[in-house]
């Protein structure tokens, strides 16, 4: 008989066709070409009816070296300038990765604030729907020139949850540089939490701003907030170790990887 873990994974991911993948700054800074390539290669091997929307950070991480800045600065205008420089490089990397498989991409820049505006929300929704219908892969980032929300906190985690609502996603996959949420520091024997059915009691107490590289402003706190937001839209979230091989296929095959946040409607 299937375990409760497997059963919940089947319920949340077994039929998922429209998937939002959020890739964090640290993964893209470490592997600016390899990480997009790994995702594009995997998508090419999956069921062709799967639709992908990528929420990609990494513009600042790719822009800072061009400005000759080694350490992430505090000043927002410098970070915004780096994002403006890095964004085109970031999108080129995604374009090349998917291009190998004859798939086209589109750049979408959004702000959380803009999405609070009903007309703008509908405009974004219509544009994304048209792209998905044409089998184009949207690559979404925050418009860092006009908004600094995700630079300050979240590294696009919240934006990813909002995108799930925009496209009526079946699942949100957050690629990160850790194995998932742990019940204590993994370096001190903390264990991965495979399933969260109640965020308040099973996730919040264990979320700390652990983030190994310091390149993004994410950490587990913003991922848990994002999972809660997505759950509010009825969308399950899976926090995954983005560096692991075939992680997308394994996640969609309902293997016991990462931490799955189950929305109330699927409990
Ligand atoms: N939009 C930002 C980026 O792409 C978010 C991540 C960050 O703060 O580094 O770089």
Distance CA 208, CA 101 (A): 38
Query: Which residues are paired to 221 by β-bridges?
Result: none
Ligand 1 nearest-atom number relative to CA 217? 8
In this prediction, residue 218 carries a pLDDT of 52
In this prediction, residue 8 carries a pLDDT of 97
Block residue for tokens 């908004």: 147
Q: Backbone phi, then psi, for 264, in 5-degree steps?
A: -55, -40
**pLDDT tens string 169-180:** 999 999 998 899
The rounded Å distance from CA 151 to ligand 1 centre is 5
In this prediction, residue 235 carries a pLDDT of 98
Distance CA 231, CA 9 (A): 15
What lies within 8 Å, CB to CB, of 86 at 6+ separation is 58, 59, 60, 61, 62, 63, 64, 66
The rounded Å distance from CA 264 to ligand 1 centre is 30
In this prediction, residue 213 carries a pLDDT of 39
Whether the full predicted model's pTM is greater than 0.75, yes or no, is yes
Q: Residue 137, Cβ neighbours under 10 Å: how many?
A: 22
Distance CA 245, CA 111 (A): 32
The rounded Å distance from CA 31 to ligand 1 centre is 15
The rounded Å distance from CA 50 to ligand 1 centre is 27
Domains of the chain: 2-8+16-266 (3.40.1160.10)
Segments of the chain with pLDDT less than 50: 211-217
Q: Backbone phi, then psi, for 153, in 5-degree steps?
A: -155, 130
**pLDDT tens string 17-36:** 999 999 999 899 999 999 99
Contact call for residues 94 and 58 (beta carbons, < 8 A) = no
Pocket of ligand 1 (CB under 6 A): 25, 57-61, 83, 141-142, 144, 150-151, 155-156, 216-217
In this prediction, residue 31 carries a pLDDT of 95
Ligand 1 test: best mutation among 24, 72, 156, most atoms within 8 Å of CB?
156
CA distances from 86 to 66, 159, 208 (A): 8, 19, 28
């Amino acid at each position: 008989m299937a375990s409760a873990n497997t059963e919940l994974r089947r319920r949340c991911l077994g039929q998922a066709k429209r998937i939002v993948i959020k890739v964090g700054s640290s993964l893209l800074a470490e592997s600016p070409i390899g990480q997009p390539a790994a995702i594009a290669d995997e998508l090419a091997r999956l069921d062709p009816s799967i639709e992908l929307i990528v929420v990609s950070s990494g513009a600042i991480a790719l822009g800072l070296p061009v400005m000759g800045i080694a350490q992430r600065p505090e000043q927002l205008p410098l970070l915004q300038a780096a994002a403006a420089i890095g964004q085109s490089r970031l999108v080129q990397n995604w374009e090349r990765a998917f291009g190998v498989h004859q798939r086209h991409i589109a750049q979408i820049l959004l702000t959380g604030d803009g999405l609070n505006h009903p007309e703008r929300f509908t405009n974004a929704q219509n544009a994304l729907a048209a792209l998905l219908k044409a089998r184009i892969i949207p690559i979404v980032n925050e418009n860092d020139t006009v908004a600094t929300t995700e630079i300050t906190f979240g590294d696009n985690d919240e934006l990813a949850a909002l995108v799930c609502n925009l496209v009526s996603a079946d699942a949100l996959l957050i690629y990160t540089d850790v194995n998932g949420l742990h019940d204590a520091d993994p370096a001190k024997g903390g264990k991965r939490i495979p399933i969260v059915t109640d965020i308040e009691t099973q996730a919040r107490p264990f979320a700390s701003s652990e983030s190994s590289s310091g390149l993004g402003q994410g950490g587990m706190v913003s991922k848990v907030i994002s999972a809660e937001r997505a759950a509010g839209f009825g969308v399950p979230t899976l926090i995954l170790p983005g560096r692991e091989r075939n992680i997308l296929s394994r996640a969609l095959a309902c293997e016991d990887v990462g931490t799955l946040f189950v929305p109330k409607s699927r409990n």
